[in-house]
Amino acid sequence: MPSDLPSDSLPARRLDHVLHHGFGDRADGQTRREQHADLVDAWLTDLWESADAPAAGAALAALGSLGRRDLGPASDLDLVLLVDPAVVDDERAATLASALWYPIWNSGTSLDHSVRTPLETEEVARDDLRAAISLLDLRTVAGDPALVKDTQSRVRRVWRSQARTRRAELIDLAEDRESRYGVLAHSSEPNLKADRGGLRDVTVIRAFAGSWLADHDHVAIDRAADVLLDARDALQAVTGRSGTRLGRPDQDAVAALCGYDTADDHLAALAESARTVAWELHRVVRAAQAAASPGGRATVGSGATRRPDLTRLEHGVIVQAGEVSVDPAVTDPLRDIAAVRHAATTGLPLSDATLVRLRRHPLPLPFSPAQRDLLMDALAGAHVADVYEALDVHGVVTGWIPAWAGVRNRPQRSAVHRFTVDRHQIETVREAQSHLAEVDRPDLLLAASLLHDIGKRADARDHAREGAPLARESALGLGFDAEDADVIASLVAEHLTLVELATGRDPSDAATLGALLDAVDRDPGRLELLRALTEADARAAGPAAWSSWRASLVDHLTERARASLAGAIRGPREFLAPQRSVEQAVLDAVHRTGVPQVLYPAPTGDDQVSQICLGAPDGPGVFAAMARVLARHRIDVRSAVVSTMEGVAVDTWWVSGTPADLPHPTALRSALARELDGRGDPAARVLEVPPGAPARTTEDIPVVTLLPSASQEATVIQVNAANRPSLLADVAEMITGHQLMVRSAHVMTLGRRAVDVLYLTDARGRPLEAPMVGRIIAAIMDAASA
């Protein structure tokens, strides 16, 4: 809201009203939003009276949020001036409109306006789907109520008469919005209005009810809408703007206004409400499709013998009218799980009655082996995500996996994650399906995928380790025996180990391979399970968590472990053939010429990531010089593997952008030569790059950690800091200033964070003494904070 508005302007009065009334509170039987609508109505009525409006033949009506009486503190006003052309001519209508619209604009209020006759309004409702939905909320504010009532009747008659033909158009509208926006329940920065499960879907659900094609659970939708509307109101009160995207910077303040202890608690409540809305939309769409189809239901026979088409399957499962149901007379203990499996494998929805039965009559734990096998078959189904949403909305999943309650709707703060914790686990199951043929126990892979983040609760410090016992208990409840449950628990405890070792440790260090072999208990089968789980987990997280270069590092380490377990261990660099060939070419060129070399390998397969290999005779300051070259050219480093080969520093960098976006290799080669020539001159090492933003929260403060068991040959230090263009160069310069050598480095960028693992030695190639470790950690902290 503009700061120069007078304190008695309409926007200021609306904001003041919201800030001084409790969210969700009622006074005199009215909600705060109803009181807010009354405040605006009263102001508009005063305008109407001052505009010398006629006593009959004209009316001011509200649409949208004001029409529904759920206006937000910064929401636009959507108004229509209705006129009876037999009473009010065009000139009089234009004069009246000007007398209304200009004072609203002058007040600083955003306005969407129109002037129409009842017949014109009816024609708009017939021709424009979005306008028709908005017109369903038409409500009298001032003027002739009979004129508004007539217009309402016309609009609703048109809507109901066209319901069958517009059903597909309405469904397409909702699906198109999902493709352009996203799913509110799974978003870390949700759009409260436009995302799937948001306020626009609430309007669509109510529009379906207005068509008489399908109804919904009014209590559930009203409760969910209240949660979403409270969040929208708090967001608009905090920002003073009409936007509905709940960004990270505003989440704490919005949560506090809405009465939640933390932003995560609020996001979880929003996710719960959004899933309710999404489920009810799914239900009304199904009901509308059935009602609009010929005969309303799939049938067989004719006349007196006409009956619903019904197919009976094993275990008491029934398929009827395009839904999966069960025969209540069948007592087969596999009946309910078999219905879930059929829905997950065919895509047919579970009937409402079956879902209610599953909630009211939960299956006893532990499952039998046969029930477990059917559930694993369901997890392997192509439609498992849809079935999960249906089961979870009805409270079934927490009955089967009690620990699920701790992660249900739990938001994730990592920049690489795109889903809530619970849905991420389901997405991991979906990704794991493509690896089932690669492992000897696909059921264990599916179970571990389902449970791998079960420990990622609000108070978790190490979710993998803390989740292992929860996963074991859950696996036992799902019918696995103790030995299999131990394997599942081990996979959960170690599900981050492979990717962390592959991307953040030196592959040539024996300790790296040893750590992986220990993690899989030197079991080849468990190694393959962990490799499959690692990729499924990363792909489910989002594009930033998995790429061709990361896959090559993971495969490299996995292949080393396979060879070791087979008794045929070879040199660690033999497994990265494409990268090795490039590095060998750079190594040979440096040996041949004695000067720095730069080579761009062939594209990685990721259109947004390119590879650069730099080489130079090794010595103090070489790593820092290479980092400065990239910083000076504004090259964004995504990952790096830095190593020394035969006295030559050979560093492979994965950077953002295509090869066409990068400088020519000769430009980088010349720049690197200049940097190396000037590494003894402090003035030549100064970087002219924009400084990083100052720390705003504790999350922005760098964390520098000693990893004592990572290597016997070097001191390993991890730097986790907010990323900035000069970060790596600043840290490398600090290391050079202490006369230390970087034997190996592994650099990674995850969202706004940089995670760099440095293998440091003294000038003689030995691990650092304890006093030096303390000094260099403090120095790196300073450099990372600059």
pLDDT tens for each residue of 630-647: 988 888 887 777 778 888
User: Of 64-78, 294-308, 615-629, 676-690, which gets the smallest average pLDDT?
Assistant: 294-308
Q: Which amino acid is at 485?
A: A
271: helix, strand or coil: helix
Q: Which amino acid is at 692?
A: G
Q: How confident is the model at residue 395 (pLDDT cuts 50, 70, 90)?
A: very high
User: H-type helices in 547-700, by residue range?
Assistant: 548-565, 577-593, 622-632, 665-677
Q: What percent of the chain has pLDDT over 90?
A: 53
The pLDDT of 385-392, averaged and rounded, is: 94
Tens of pLDDT, residues 739-765: 888 888 887 776 677 888 889 999 888
> Which tokens belong to 359?
């909630």
Contacts of 138 (CB under 8 A, 6+ apart): 61, 62, 63, 67, 80, 148, 151, 152, 155
The pLDDT of 557-585, averaged and rounded, is: 72
The pLDDT of 780-785, averaged and rounded, is: 87
pLDDT at 4: 44
What's the rounded Cα separation, in Å, for the pair 379 and 609? 33
Q: Which amino acid is at 138?
A: L
Residue 333: how many CA atoms within 13 Å on its side-chain side? 11
The pLDDT of 10-29, averaged and rounded, is: 64
What's the rounded Cα separation, in Å, for the pair 399 and 387? 15
Where do we find the tokens 């059903």? Answer: 167
The pLDDT of 98-103, averaged and rounded, is: 93
What's the rounded Cα separation, in Å, for the pair 532 and 521? 16
Task: Please answer whether residues 495 and 533 qualify as being in contact, where contact means their C-beta atoms are separated by less than 8 angstroms.
Answer: yes
User: H-type helices in 84-144, by residue range?
Assistant: 90-106, 118-127, 129-135
pLDDT at 699: 56
Q: Which amino acid is at 295?
A: G
Contacts of 495 (CB under 8 A, 6+ apart): 448, 452, 464, 530, 533, 534, 537
Polymer length of the chain: 786
Kindly compute the dihedral angle of the four CA atoms of residues 679, 684, 690, 692, in this order, to the nearest 10 degrees: 40
Work out the burial of residue 568: count CB atoms within 10 Å of its CB; fewer than 13 is exposed, 13-18 middle, 19 or more buried. Answer: exposed
Burial string for 587-622 (b: 16+ CB within 10 Å, else e) reads bebbeeeeebbbbebeebebeebbbbbbbbebebbb
What's the rounded Cα separation, in Å, for the pair 621 and 676? 8
Rounded to the nearest integer, the mean pLDDT of the chain is 86
Residue 473: how many CA atoms within 13 Å on its side-chain side? 11
> Which tokens belong to 474?
């859950």
- Torsions phi, psi of 251, nearest 5? -70, -40
- DSSP-derived letter for residue 784 is H
pLDDT at 2: 38
Q: How confident is the model at residue 8 (pLDDT cuts 50, 70, 90)?
A: low
Residue 366 preceded by cis peptide, ω within 30: yes
User: Of 231-245, 301-315, 363-377, which gets the smallest average pLDDT?
Assistant: 301-315
The pLDDT of 242-260, averaged and rounded, is: 92
pLDDT at 245: 94
> Parallel, antiparallel, or unpaired for β 77-83 and 111-116?
parallel
Q: Could you give the angle at which helices 10-19 and 218-239 cross, rounded to 10 degrees?
A: 120
> Which tokens belong to 187?
């978003």
What's the rounded Cα separation, in Å, for the pair 569 and 555? 15
User: Of 301-305, 612-616, 649-653, 699-703, which gets the smallest average pLDDT?
Assistant: 301-305
The pLDDT of 14-38, averaged and rounded, is: 69
Q: Using alpha carbons only, how large is the chain's radius of gyration in Å? A: 32
User: Of 11-20, 120-129, 309-318, 395-404, which gets the smallest average pLDDT?
Assistant: 11-20
Residue 73 has pLDDT above 80, yes or no: yes
Q: Which residue has the higher pLDDT, 602 or 398?
A: 398
Kindly compute the dihedral angle of the four CA atoms of residues 329, 357, 380, 286, in this order, to the nearest 10 degrees: 100
> Which tokens belong to 388?
């999960």
pLDDT at 654: 80
CA max distance for the chain? 100
Max mean pLDDT range (7-11, 243-247, 446-450, 614-618): 446-450
What's the rounded Cα separation, in Å, for the pair 631 and 623? 12
Contacts of 311 (CB under 8 A, 6+ apart): 318, 319, 320
Q: How many CB atoms lie within 10 A of CB 668?
A: 24
pLDDT at 579: 62
Q: What percent of the chain has pLDDT over 70?
A: 90
pTM over 0.85? The answer is: no
Kindly compute the dihedral angle of the four CA atoms of residues 216, 219, 224, 226, in this order, to the nearest 10 degrees: 130
- CA distances to 27, 573, 738 from 385, rounded to whole Å, are 42, 40, 54
What's the rounded Cα separation, in Å, for the pair 338 and 387? 13
Residue 416 has pLDDT above 80, yes or no: no
The pLDDT of 135-152, averaged and rounded, is: 94
What's the rounded Cα separation, in Å, for the pair 235 and 244? 7
Task: Please answer whether residues 151 and 61 qualify as being in contact, where contact means their C-beta atoms are separated by less than 8 angstroms.
Answer: yes
Task: Please answer whether residues 485 and 447 qualify as being in contact, where contact means their C-beta atoms are separated by less than 8 angstroms.
Answer: no
Q: How confident is the model at residue 142 (pLDDT cuts 50, 70, 90)?
A: very high
Q: How many CB atoms lie within 10 A of CB 95?
A: 13
Tens of pLDDT, residues 326-372: 999 999 999 999 999 999 999 999 999 999 999 999 999 999 999 99
Work out the burial of residue 49: count CB atoms within 10 Å of its CB; fewer than 13 is exposed, 13-18 middle, 19 or more buried. Answer: exposed
The pLDDT of 660-688, averaged and rounded, is: 85
Q: How confident is the model at residue 143 (pLDDT cuts 50, 70, 90)?
A: very high
> Parallel, antiparallel, or unpaired for β 703-706 and 609-617?
unpaired
- Element (H or E) spanning 210, and its range? helix 199-211
What's the rounded Cα separation, in Å, for the pair 279 and 393? 7
Task: Please answer whether residues 384 and 430 qualify as being in contact, where contact means their C-beta atoms are separated by less than 8 angstroms.
Answer: yes
Residue 725 has pLDDT above 80, yes or no: no
507: helix, strand or coil: coil
pLDDT at 575: 42
Max mean pLDDT range (479-493, 507-521, 622-636, 662-676): 479-493
